[in-house]
Structure 1
Amino acid sequence: MANDAKKIRFAPGGAIYIAPATESLVIPVDLGTADTAPAGYKALGYVDEGGVTLTPAIETQPVNAWQSATAVLYNVTSASFSVKATLQETNEVTTELFWGAEWVEIMSEDPTPVGTGVFRLDLSSTPELKELSLVVDWNQGSIRNRVVIPRSMISDRGAIQLNRTENGKFELTIEALDSAGKLGYVLTNDDIVEGP
């Protein structure tokens, strides 16, 4: 196979979409259309210039035998798939994901409660982890790719740096959970696979 510079790929465009992982959610099975959230999902908006980091990982343990000084095979001890991104937009979806709670409007204490336009987000001392479904799209021209993770949870949150000259950012690491024996799947229309 000869070297082919046309096969070098970048990801100049893309999006992250998220939805509660419920039984009624229809998990996407196609590439969808560019810049359109799959049904039931919400876009997370701008991501910082570092982009999105996708990390599939497998941990193995060697199986040794008396007859060999080298392992005779490896056994899988764990598998994982993580997505890490630093979100730049401050909106309801990104802030609720980051803080792990929902905004609730404070109501006036008049005889008839009226919304005050002030919202409160309570940080629990025993937070409840919510299951999410995640879709990451990226493209280079007409070449489109999509990772779909039917079930996942936020496993790590970075610190928010409040700064006069730099915007607020929400760093999240999301880990795939088992979904009928799969962590998720990758879709592409790239011509990297040879036909039969």
Structure 2
Amino acid sequence: MKHITGFFTIAVLFASCGTYNNDYEIVQNSSEKVVEIEAHDDYDRLNYINDFISSAGHVDFQPLHYTVTIPKGSKKIYIITNCVYLDYGNKEFIVIDGGFKGRKSTDSEFQLADIDVLELERKLSSYLNDRGYNKSIIYRAKKNRITKIYQNESARILLFNIHKSNFEFYLKCLQSFEYYDNTHR
């Protein structure tokens, strides 16, 4: 009986703090795992670990590794190029573009700002189209929704169409964004 109780305790501890990507549907082009999710009671922790280096001409682009707290509730995570799209349903999205190694300062301070409609269209239109959303939601501001960009010189985090009641918590989670060394995991 002690063995069964001990195993159950270990299983519960592992389940409460371990990676549980299976609770999320992660859609990506690559077969390599680029996102790990750590479960917590009130939020989750997303670790972006993409080691795929792409090239354009003679220039290599190596994604930066980062970790960030994300609100619970997103059941689908899409990885497209270097962007992580979190779909919270009800047309609420968070899009995280962590940037590339050596391009711009990762130490610069984050700022919260309004985002231009043309920038929104560039960032979201094919994503929304591929998922069957009418891209007209980009152009229609709703009274009880907020769209902002939280960014520094390297990273850009789009909070799109977030309910006012969720916005403060979502932003607080995303303010935990930090880079870590690509060579040590």
- Compute the TM-score of the two structures, normalised by the length of structure 1: 0.24
Q: Higher helix fraction: Structure 1 or Structure 2? A: 2
Q: Higher strand fraction: Structure 1 or Structure 2? A: 1
